[in-house]
Structure formats: structure tokens, C-alpha cells
Chains A and B, each alone.
Chain A
Amino acid sequence: MNGTATKAAKDRRAYWAMVLPSFLIYLFVFGFPIVLAIVLSLSNYGGGKMFGGTSWGITGFRQYQRLFADPYFWNALKNNIYIVLVSVLGQLPLGFIFAYLIYRKTVKFEEFWQGVLYVPAMISTIVVGILWSIIFSPYGPIADTANHYYASAYSAKISGIFQTTGGLSDPDELTDQIIKASPSTINTVFSDPSVDLKDFLLSYEPGDTATLQKDLVNLLAPRWNADFLSKNNVAMIPICFVTLWMWVGTYLLIFLANMQKIDRGIIEAAQIDGASEMQIMGRVVLPSLSKVIANSAILCISGSLSGFALILAMTGGGPARVTQVLSIYMYDKAFMGAPDYPLANAIAIMIVLFSLALVGIMFALERRFGGKE
């Protein structure tokens, strides 16, 4: 009896001897910063030395009140929710479907597709951000393509008008027709289009209609512009698209690796029983991966809420904070403009709380709907 008790005590000591160093390191690396962030979020700390510098103290939940009253916080949270939705409802299903297609050899050259889809995740996030910001810039390929299309369509209209009106031989009719065919931006170019446009047309030699038509296209054709950036919901579309493009390959690999662990005998049995490809996917493969999907969803959620580099490189949260997410909002408060460390820490705590809440929801959903292994 005595010997058993001694052995149990020895085991306990051995257990703590092995666990305690890791536990202490964990507390120091993870616990301490979280506790410090909580303390700072409840304080009026203004920077500089924490001890021996400007005095600071605990001021309660004032920072959280400020946070909830700030419309930019809600905007950043909304943008984060968009990214979470795109990640969970976009990256995971697409990753799963692509993985399934490769796993079941529905597509040829599986390794090629696997590589192609994974390449974006291998490129530096900053490089990806800059690359796409150039693609979406006013001088980028999207703007160029759109402007080329607009210019071609408008050029055809102008050519038709010159043919039907006889060009500069009837400047009044020509002016009227051009005004009718032009977008409303004509009113920003000419304060009185019917007078000013006519004067503009008459400033060209009658024989120089080719140049005139070209100049009219430059002047009045609709152009790709940044108007979509002023609409909060639309401004996030490029970022959501790039987020999807970048990370689908990662989840493809995770799902594919786990699909390869499924006993092929089960799938063959299902096939013998007459199961269709959709039934195999929905009734056999999907339930087998429910835990993996739940864990991937957690990765997705935490990545989406803490995602920083891609948006910083693409838009910096701008213009005018339209594309700001919580992590950039936090960074903005901590390091840009007027540093506000307590508010920045309050934002950090909110990010942690949202992550925990969403992860909790994911676990609950997995328990309720997940397959039993």
C-alpha cells in the first residue's frame, strides 16, 4: 500500500517535472501578453516607459465604450465578417470540392492542378497584395481592359453620329447627338455642353474629323473609376476575391491528405451498393472529414480575424478606412497618427473574444452535425 502511494507521488512529481517548464513557457509567451493587453485596455497608458515614465492608471471600461461608439470599429468588424464568410463558405467548400475532384481522379493531371492551386499560398503575402493592388489600380490591366471596352463602344457610337449627321457640316445637330450619346460626366467637362461642346467641335478643321472623333472618345467615353471604393460592401470584393484565390490551395492540401487516409474499401462498398459520385462525396467522404473541416474552419476564422499583411499591402485599409479590418484598425490606433495604446489593446481583446465566440460556434455545429467516426 505504502509502496503504491510512493509510486503515485513519484509519478506526480515526474509528471509536473515534465509539464511545468512547458506550462511556464506557455504562460509567459501566451498568458502574459494577453493579461497585459487586458490591463492596458482598461488603462490610460500613453506610451513610453511603463514604470518610471509618465504615470498611468486603471480607468475601467472607458476604452470599450469609445470602441463601441466608433463607427470605424463596426465597419472594420463588418469587413472582418465578410472575410470570415468568404473564408468559411468559400475557401473550405472550394478546397473540399477541388480536393475531391483530385482524389477521385475526376480531372486529369491531378498533381498539376494540385500545384497550380497551391502556388498562391507559397508566394509572399506582401507580394500577392502588391501584385493585386497593381492589377486593380487605375493604370492596371482591369482598368485598361474596361477603358478599352468603353472606348470601343463609345467610338462606334460617335462614328455612327458623324455618319448620320454629316459631321461638322451641321454642328448643332452633331452637338445634340453627341450630348445624347454621352454619359452624364459631359456636364463636368463642359459647364454648358450645348454651347461649350459646339465651340470645342468647331475648334477642329472640317477635314480633321478622325482626330476629332479620337479626341471625343478620350474626352467623353465612360471610364473605369474608383467610385466602387466609396461603397463599403463593394470595396471589399477585390480583397475577398484575393483571400479566396490565395488560400483555397492550402485547404485543398489539408482535405486531400485526409481523404487519402479514408479506407478505400468503404468507397468501393458504396460503389457496389450503387452509390452515385455525389452520394459518395456527401455520405462517405464528407462525414469522414467532419473533424478536419471543423479544425480547418477554426484556422479559417482565426486567420480571417487576424489577417493583416494582405490587406495592408493591397489597400492599407484605405481609402478612407473603407477596407479596414480589425487588425489594421488596431494597428492604426497603435502605430499610425496619434498612438492610442489602450484603445488598440481593447481592439486586440475584442479580436480574441470574437475568435473564441466563432470557434465555439464551429465546435457546436460540428458536434451537432458532424459525422461520427
Chain B
Amino acid sequence: MKKKICSALMFLVILSMGAYAQKTTLTVFDYIDATAPGYAENEAIWQRFIDENPDITIVKEELSNEPFHQKLAAYVAAGTLPDVMYMYPSGRSTMLHEQKLVKDLAPLLGKDYLANFIPSVTDPSGQKGKYLAELPQSISYTTVMFTNTKLLSDLGLRVPSTYAELKAMLPKLKAKGIRPVLMANKDDWVMQSCLFSTIVGRMLGDEWIDNALAGKVKFTDKEFIKALDFVETMYKDGVIGRDTIQISYGEAPALFAEGKAAFFIDGDWRQNAFLTDPSSGKALIDPKRQQTDFEYFNFPAIPGEKNPGVASAVLGCGYGISASIPAGSDKEKAAVRLLKYLYSADVQRQYLELGRYITSRKDVKSDKLEPFTVKMAAYHDAVKKTCYVLDGALDTSIYTPLNLGLQQIGLGTKTPTQVAQSVQAAVDAWRASH
């Protein structure tokens, strides 16, 4: 009897060891703000994958904003990339693309699967490495003017269609202690990504940037300096306060929701900060007010613009798979299974309902969207023509002095010409090394 029990136990131990041995562990580095609405629901989405895939163990790490990018850079430096990671199509994820540290997803996901997405997101030419290093979850419109229309109408003001009209609003707004335009300029990328890219797109166009990178024109030419001059003008006019350089990315949405500013300029992803958190039922701006008191607009017409109505947009972020995973391995299969789950119609619908982004998947619809998300989809449709987001079009070594220079213009420590010179110097160095 004892022998039989021992044999059975041994059999169970061996069986469990076998099961354990077959389990594949995936390390994941995800981008999410744990304080943002919908965090608990996002965790539930991941938990469902874990529950449905007992043969895969997920070891997940989460960060957002600068700490995310810095940690990813540390992983790259140490050569210890996670198996699956959230990444950008260019910009801060440039090293992943250029050093081919992530796999090409096109053959892994297959043509039939990718046919579910809008063609522009599966076009590899939009990514830095010119291959499908990540599958963009959306198209990101990086300039959105969140507008408190109720506040404007209470003061007898209407939405400005030109910069002159925006400037003319200042006395009435400031007399009531309201900031005209709020931006979170403490992080130096915000001005470049969320406004200056659109200014350049309007005043110069993408072709000019291409020519500048090819050495046919220079960033010190008067056209580019004029674009920088406009940023300086906005600060000097008081349309954008110099103290926005002290406002952090995290605190800006709450200030806008409190009615401290008439306009808030940020990317389309920022709508998520205002939505109802399903777990607490609270929202920075409740759905009723989202519907009646707020709208999204493009930045008004800029003096001297050549391309009216253009707004900056870039392929959105998505997940990539580490190139260090052996081809055909169980780990690779597990990573592909995870990606197919995350990009499934069901999960994408949930992310749409949570207001994370306007999904790039064609077959996703929902009638449970909050007004801000519906309005964001309408804003995307309203922007007929897009232009480069500069940190997506320029090399990191070039947009770094530009980001810095835009802050220096805001502080008044450098002139537009000096900033243009520093950007051109970076272009010259970049061209010399390529």
C-alpha cells in the first residue's frame, strides 16, 4: 500500500515538474500610469490572458513618462531587454529600431492578422528602422487644443480661428484670473511634440524638414527661425505663460479641469486623464460636462502659415518583441500569442472604451464611449492633413537641442536664432556621422 502511495506521489511530482518545465516565462515592460483612470481594468485585461494561458508566466514591470524611457534606455545599455516591451515607432525608442533589438512583427503576426488594421499602421516605412518593429495601436495626433467652451461663452468669447483672435481674448480671460493656454512645459518634449511640430508643419511643411536633413536647406534659414520666432511671440504676448515651464506633466489636466485655463494643449492621448475611472466612478471632468462644456479644436491659424489646418501626427505606440528570443522557440510563440491577444478586437474595444486611444483596428466599434472619446475620434476625422512630429522625424541628437532650445526661448535665455544655430550644429554633426 505504502509503495503504491509513494509511486503515485512520485508520479504526481514528476508530472508537475514536467508541467512546470513546459511553462514559458515572458518578461514584459509596459507603459502605464498606475494613477490614471482605467488602471484596474487594464490589469484585469492582463490577468485574463494569464488565466487563459496557464502555460505562460507573465513577469510584468510598469512605468510611465520619463522613468519609462530612462529605464528602457538602461535595459538597452545593459543588454537585458525584456521579452515584450511597449515602444514608440521612432523618437525615444530609436535605439531599439536602429540596432534591430526587436523582431520584425510582419512575418510573426502574418498578413491575415495585419489586414485587420488600417494600412498606414502596418506600413513599415513609418517606423524608424523601416520594418514593423511594433504594431501601432493608433495614430497619435500630438496637437489637440482642449477647449473649455462653457468658460468662453460665459465670458462672451468664441473659439478663436486665428492667433490674433486668441491673443485678443487675453484681457477678458486674465481679468477673471484665467490662464489663456495651459501647457505642461516642465518636460521639454511637450512644446516640441504638442505644438511646435504643428507650427513647423503649418509654416514650413514636411518637405522642408526632409530637405534640411538632406542638407539642401538649413535650420538657420529664416523660414525655420520664423517658426521659432512664433514660439517666442506666444510667450511674449502672454498667450502661453512663462511659468508653464514649471508646470509638470502630471498636474496640468487637473488645473484645466478646475477651470484655471481656457485652453489646454497636449496630445490626443491626454483625453484619458479626464475620463471616468471605472474602479472609483470618479472623473476629472464628468461625462455630462464632457458633452456640454468642452470641445477639441486644432490650433488656430498662424500668421504666415503655408499649410492651413495641418496638425502633427505620428504612428502610435505599441508592443514589440525582443530580437534576442530564438526564432521558433516556445518563448517566441508565447510572445506572439500575447501580442495577438492584446491586439484582439475584444481587448482593443476595451481600450477604446477606457479612452486609452482611438484604436487602429478596423473592426472595433462600441456604444459605451464617454463623450471625450467620441469627440476625439471626430477630431481625428476633422484634421484633414497631418505633418511630422519632429521627434519622430529627426534623430534624437537633433531634437534634443531643439527641445532644450524651445525651453530656453520660453525662459528668454536664448534667441530663436541661437536655438536654430544649435539645431543646425546638431544636424551637421549627425550628417557627418552618417
Residues of B within 8 A of A339 (CB): 73, 76-77, 95
Mark B379-399 against chain A: 1 for CB-CB distance below 8 A, else 0.
000000000000000011101
Of A24-32, A243-251, A264-272, A318-326, which binds chain B?
Answer: A318-326
Q: Are B245 and A319 in contact (CB under 8 A)?
A: yes
Mark B240-251 against chain A: 1 for CB-CB distance below 8 A, else 0.
011101111001
Residues of B within 8 A of A226 (CB): 242-243, 245-246, 411
Q: Please indicate which of the listed interface residues B66, B76, B242, B403 has the most CB atoms of chain A within 10 Å of its own CB.
A: B242
Can you report 23 residue pairs joining A to B where beta carbons are below 8 Å apart? A47-B76, A47-B95, A48-B79, A48-B99, A48-B101, A137-B246, A137-B251, A188-B236, A200-B175, A215-B176, A216-B175, A218-B174, A226-B245, A316-B186, A318-B186, A319-B188, A319-B245, A320-B404, A320-B410, A320-B411, A322-B411, A338-B396, A338-B400
Q: Are B246 and A320 in contact (CB under 8 A)?
A: no
Complex CA–CA separation, A339 to B73 (angstroms): 8
Residues of A within 8 A of B70 (CB): 331, 335-336
Complex CA–CA separation, A331 to B410 (angstroms): 24
Residues of A within 8 A of B396 (CB): 337-338
In the assembled complex, B118 has its CB within 8 A of some CB on chain A: no
Q: Please indicate which of the listed interface residues B94, B175, B188, B407 has the most CB atoms of chain A within 10 Å of its own CB.
A: B175
CB distance from A158 to the nearest CB of B (A): 12
Residues of B within 8 A of A200 (CB): 171, 175
Known: A320-B407, A336-B69. A49 touches B79 (CB 8 A): yes
Q: Tell me the A313-361 residues at the B interface (CB within 8 Å).
A: 316, 318-322, 331, 334-339, 341
CB distance from B432 to the nearest CB of A (A): 14
In the assembled complex, A23 has its CB within 8 A of some CB on chain B: no
Please report the total number of A residues contacting B with Cβ < 8 Å: 41
Residues of B within 8 A of A218 (CB): 174-177
Residues of B within 8 A of A334 (CB): 73, 77
Q: Are B236 and A215 in contact (CB under 8 A)?
A: no
Q: Name the prevailing secondary structure of the B interface residues.
A: helix
Residues of A within 8 A of B403 (CB): 337
Complex CA–CA separation, A224 to B246 (angstroms): 12
In the assembled complex, B74 has its CB within 8 A of some CB on chain A: yes
Complex CA–CA separation, A337 to B404 (angstroms): 11
Q: Name the prevailing secondary structure of the A interface residues.
A: loop
CB distance from A235 to the nearest CB of B (A): 9
Q: Are A336 and B247 in contact (CB under 8 A)?
A: no
Mark B396-424 against chain A: 1 for CB-CB distance below 8 A, else 0.
11011001100110111100000000000
Q: Are B174 and A219 in contact (CB under 8 A)?
A: yes
Complex CA–CA separation, A320 to B241 (angstroms): 16
Q: Tell me the B212-265 residues at the A interface (CB within 8 Å).
A: 236-238, 241-243, 245-248, 251, 255, 260
Residues of A within 8 A of B157 (CB): none
Residues of B within 8 A of A331 (CB): 70
Q: Please indicate which of the listed interface residues A200, A331, A337, A339 has the most CB atoms of chain B within 10 Å of its own CB.
A: A337
Q: Are B237 and A188 in contact (CB under 8 A)?
A: yes
Q: Select from chain A the residue with minimum beta-carbon distance to B408.
A: A320
CB distance from B311 to the nearest CB of A (A): 25
In the assembled complex, A225 has its CB within 8 A of some CB on chain B: yes
CB distance from A253 to the nearest CB of B (A): 32
CB distance from B67 to the nearest CB of A (A): 10
Residues of B within 8 A of A185 (CB): 238
In the assembled complex, A54 has its CB within 8 A of some CB on chain B: yes
Q: Are A320 and B413 in contact (CB under 8 A)?
A: yes
Q: Tell me the A167-197 residues at the B interface (CB within 8 Å).
A: 185, 188-190, 196
- Which of A49, A190, A335, A338 is B397 in contact with, Cβ under 8 Å? A338
CB distance from A58 to the nearest CB of B (A): 18
In the assembled complex, B152 has its CB within 8 A of some CB on chain A: no
Q: Are A47 and B77 in contact (CB under 8 A)?
A: yes
Complex CA–CA separation, A185 to B399 (angstroms): 32
